[in-house]
Structure 1
Amino acid sequence: MSTGRVRTAFSSLTLRGRCLVAGGITLFALGALLGEQALLSLAVFALVLPALSAATVLRERFRLASRRTVVPAQVPRGTDAEVLLEVTNTDRRPGGTWALSELVPGDLHAEPRFLVDRLPAGATAALRYRVHGSRRGRYALGPLRLRLVDPFGLVLRTTAGADTAPLVVVPRVRPLSPAGLDGGAGGGGAGLRRSFAVQGEDDVSTREYRHGDDLRKVHWRATARTGELMVRLEERPWRSHATLFVDTRRSAHLLGGGQVVGPPGDPAPPPDSLEWLVEAAASIGSHLAQRGATVRVVTDTGELTPTASRGGFDAGELLDRLATLGPTRTGELDLGIEALRRAGADGPVVCLLGLVGVEDAEALVRARSGPSRDVAVLVDVVSWADAGGSRGRRPLAAAARAELERQRTGAVDLLRSAGWRVATAGADESVEQVWDRVTSGPELGLRTVAS
């Protein structure tokens, strides 16, 4: 046996196999030293058995193929996906005893293991397992790992494939109630319906009536204004625009905590304030996009660009992009505010903010102009610390709490004085509750502009 094969055989030994080899060497030395034939015979047996097992396992041939079907391939955080793993024996001979395991990222919970015994040639074994999307992200399921073990458990041979299947864990989309969107019992309900429902109207160019024109195209307002019979020349749909601003700065959130005590009845509350903001962005953005609005997204590092050239995100692509949105090391909001200045000119802005101060609020106010009524939601970072988000960290001192409260209160007061609609979100509040509260006043003024 070559040196390479010897090295491979020794590296394939399990802990039990290594202990048996070590015991055999010890017995051989003692037998040679004491001249005991029984010890030498026992030593030979202890050394030959792992060698035979290694030769058997290392020479075993197998050919298999695998295929995965993930249903659904995109799941909201906190829910499960089912995976169908089909393993086919592509060899001409029946397979042996295969111990199979699927390489799965730790955020999706335990690694599934299966035992397939003597799969016939050309046959397929259907194996199923579930993964739990406990954390947003883009994951690869697989590849498949095959473990061959001899009957005595002395030698282990492991090989892995290369095929994988994608799984995307997106933020949850909370159902925003129409009552909250329409302003509830407060004033401005009709205005909000006009602002967010996106009924659409015609961008009309007119010309004089000509013989043979369809009378249904007569534009009566233009006719009354000019005194001549006028018809519609062109019709283009109008669309409403809105911009989401998401503060993802690591320094503006309390990250890395444990299990947070969230709103009552929520089985998977956001573990930190950043996850709450991303969930709010997904819910509000999907809500507006499904009503026909063009939704743009800006973070503290700049504007997110949709893959299509339509200028905004639809609900599906919005969730896909937010799936991988994580904390940044940006210290200031300057880049995001500059991008907001450019992107948010065509409609109102919904700012989802972490820990901000008066200076940040002043910069946001300066970046916005025009009649649009903007919205700001500020997370109460202290409430996440109290709800369990600071597990493993030192508790916030009284002075630190007072300073954080002072900064948040100053930012809230300044934004409100500038005409913004402002709400504070605590760890015990859901996105639906905060959105109902922030939209319960006068209309937000979502303008329609020609697309």
Structure 2
Amino acid sequence: MPTPASRVLSSLTVRGRCVVAGAVTLLLVGALLGERPLVQLAIFTLALPLVSALTVARERFRLSARRTVTPPRVPRGETADVVLEIANADTRMGGLWVLTEHVPGELGTSPVFVVERLAAGARTTLRYRVHGHRRGRHTLGPLRLRLVDPFGLVERGAVGADSAPLLVVPRVRPLVAGGPAGGQGRGGEGSRRSIAVQGEDDVSTREYRHGDDLRKVHWRATARTGELMVRLEERPWRAQATLLLDTRARAHLVAPHARPAGRTDRPRPGPAGDDAPPLDSLEWVVEAAASIGTDLARRGATLRAVTATGELLPSAGRGQLSAEDLLDRLAGVGPSRVSGLDIGVEQACRAAGEGPVVCLLGAVGPDDVVSLIRGRSGPTTDLAVLTDIESWVDTGHGRGHRGPSAASRGALAAQREEAATLLRAAGWRVAVARADTAVAEVWATLGAPAQADPVTVAGLHGGRT
């Protein structure tokens, strides 16, 4: 059990310790020199911290705190206002209170307030702001109270149990009207009628691929070309759309979490006019998923989202994600330790059915996209965005102090190009995203007519065509 002397010593501030050290020195000098005035002054100085400690120890306090966060849900890069109401719930007037509000480092610095002699039953309002520098579910509080004597020699602390949540969601960037879903927002029947009115000779066709429905074979085109051809039917975006996010840590350059909010070591390159560009390629992927998914949900699509570790489920259970559900789930998405995309691809293909899939991928090679091509061999036109993670090295926010070497960058670029070639050959629409590329630009690129590369993907289907 601590003694009264030890409690007094532990409650001394830096100023109080300095005063005690000076008084002890003065006492020794006075005793050695036989100077009684110096000894008396030293004793008085030593008594001052003791009296202050007793005063602070006897002080009673009861305070209540209530926080109001506006808004309680902010996009990354935006600010939230916090109102902290402090009430003296005791029957006596309060002393000198130093209040420190705990704020996570991703939101800013912890504010400090001084409240002096708050009357019994009185209230005071304190305000501060937090900046949503990084996505996630954050907690504001608890409040730490320090009772300080008027001389600043002794302090006594207490920590409250109250707190308030703040959700920082990914930003939603506006998309251009010419994206892949721009002209397909009228539902399934409307899309089928637009194909039917073209006439039998003008219907879009392509070569048969393993897994295609034989009922889709276009016999007139087959007879004309000498090869088995199938009708190409675009799936309506309003029916269903599935997002696949590559969240593997090995596929991205992830920015460190310890960076103070609002501070950067160097300018962050990004799209023109963007004052808070994504810090890394994973953040770009999450932001793209939020923007694309929100746009599709507003068009009425049945939206599903899958990461490398599994499906993101709505709060009500399984099934369709609303735009708000999507943002809430993406707020907590971080880098995963899984090495492959097999789990994500399997669940995305199962969730998508015959609807289109939008894949937002990190650093991938041919081996990573083989399962995608095999799992999506039907007539649906799917989309893939490949991120150029090397472009984020120049931002200074990549993981570690040294980025990939020139040889590594060349190898990553070659693998990405080979993966893109295989996807285009399989009928996918592909775009590459860089650190200075806006989501809207990538979406517009995906909306352009697909250009398949003149290579065969028969080997991906076991040699069958």
TM norm structure 2:
0.81
How far 1:132 sits from its partner (Å)?
A: 0.4
Task: Specify the SS of the correspondent of 1:121.
Answer: coil
**Contact 2:253–2:399 (CA<8 Å) still a contact in 1?**
no
* Structure 1 residues 249 and 162: CA distance shift in structure 2, 3 A: same
Distance 2:181 2:289 in 1: 19
Task: Specify the SS of the correspondent of 2:345.
Answer: helix
Residue type at the aligned position of 2:66: R
**Contact 1:198–1:293 (CA<8 Å) still a contact in 2?**
no
**Contact 1:63–1:90 (CA<8 Å) still a contact in 2?**
yes
Task: Specify the SS of the correspondent of 1:9.
Answer: helix
Distance 1:180 1:343 in 2: 23
Identity of aligned residues (%): 57
Q: Which residue of 1 aligns with 2:280?
A: 272
Q: Deviations over 1:333-366 (max 9, x none)?
A: 1221222232222411100000000001111101
**Contact 2:185–2:238 (CA<8 Å) still a contact in 1?**
no
How far 1:439 sits from its partner (Å)?
A: 1.6
**Contact 1:197–1:291 (CA<8 Å) still a contact in 2?**
no
Distance 1:392 1:298 in 2: 28
Cα root mean square deviation, aligned: 2.4
Residue type at the aligned position of 1:405: A
Task: Specify the SS of the correspondent of 1:169.
Answer: strand
How far 1:198 sits from its partner (Å)?
A: 9.3
Task: Specify the SS of the correspondent of 2:28.
Answer: helix
How far 1:28 sits from its partner (Å)?
A: 2.7
Structure 1 alignment gaps of length 5 or more: 184-188, 202-237, 444-451
**More displaced, 274-283 or 93-102?**
93-102
**Contact 2:254–2:399 (CA<8 Å) still a contact in 1?**
no
Q: Deviations over 1:15-71 (max 9, x none)?
A: 111122122223333333443323321221221111011111121111111111111
1:135-146 aligned within 5 A: 135-146=134-145
1:94-243 aligned within 5 A: 94-181=93-180, 189=183, 192-194=184-186, 240-243=239-242
Distance 2:141 2:190 in 1: 44
Q: Which residue of 2 aligns with 1:433?
A: 441
Would you say how many aligned residue pairs link Structure 1 and Structure 2? 399
Distance 2:82 2:99 in 1: 15
**Contact 2:238–2:296 (CA<8 Å) still a contact in 1?**
no
How far 1:394 sits from its partner (Å)?
A: 2.0
Q: Which residue of 2 aligns with 1:8?
A: 7
Distance 2:4 2:331 in 1: 46
Q: Which residue of 2 aligns with 1:28?
A: 27
Distance 2:115 2:189 in 1: 56
**More displaced, 2-11 or 246-255?**
2-11
Structure 2 alignment gaps of length 5 or more: 194-236, 257-263, 452-465
How far 1:148 sits from its partner (Å)?
A: 1.7
**Contact 1:198–1:292 (CA<8 Å) still a contact in 2?**
no
* Structure 1 residues 250 and 13: CA distance shift in structure 2, 3 A: same
Distance 1:441 1:24 in 2: 85
How far 1:391 sits from its partner (Å)?
A: 8.0
* Structure 1 residues 379 and 239: CA distance shift in structure 2, 3 A: closer
Residue type at the aligned position of 2:413: E
* Structure 1 residues 92 and 199: CA distance shift in structure 2, 3 A: farther
* Structure 1 residues 429 and 293: CA distance shift in structure 2, 3 A: same
Residue type at the aligned position of 2:329: R
Q: Which residue of 2 aligns with 1:300?
A: 308
* Structure 1 residues 296 and 400: CA distance shift in structure 2, 3 A: same
Distance 1:43 1:198 in 2: 94
Distance 1:197 1:101 in 2: 61
How far 1:441 sits from its partner (Å)?
A: 2.5
Distance 2:90 2:104 in 1: 30
1:251-262 aligned within 5 A: 251-256=250-255, 260-262=268-270
Distance 2:88 2:6 in 1: 29
**More displaced, 139-148 or 322-331?**
139-148
1:2-81 aligned within 5 A: 3-81=2-80
Residue type at the aligned position of 2:436: D
* Structure 1 residues 319 and 200: CA distance shift in structure 2, 3 A: farther
How far 1:442 sits from its partner (Å)?
A: 6.3
Q: Which residue of 2 aligns with 1:411?
A: 419
Q: Which residue of 2 aligns with 1:207?
A: none
Residue type at the aligned position of 2:77: G
Task: Specify the SS of the correspondent of 2:3.
Answer: helix
**Contact 1:28–1:44 (CA<8 Å) still a contact in 2?**
yes
Residue type at the aligned position of 1:388: G
Is 2:401 the counterpart of 1:393?
yes
* Structure 1 residues 182 and 391: CA distance shift in structure 2, 3 A: closer
Q: Which residue of 2 aligns with 1:379?
A: 387
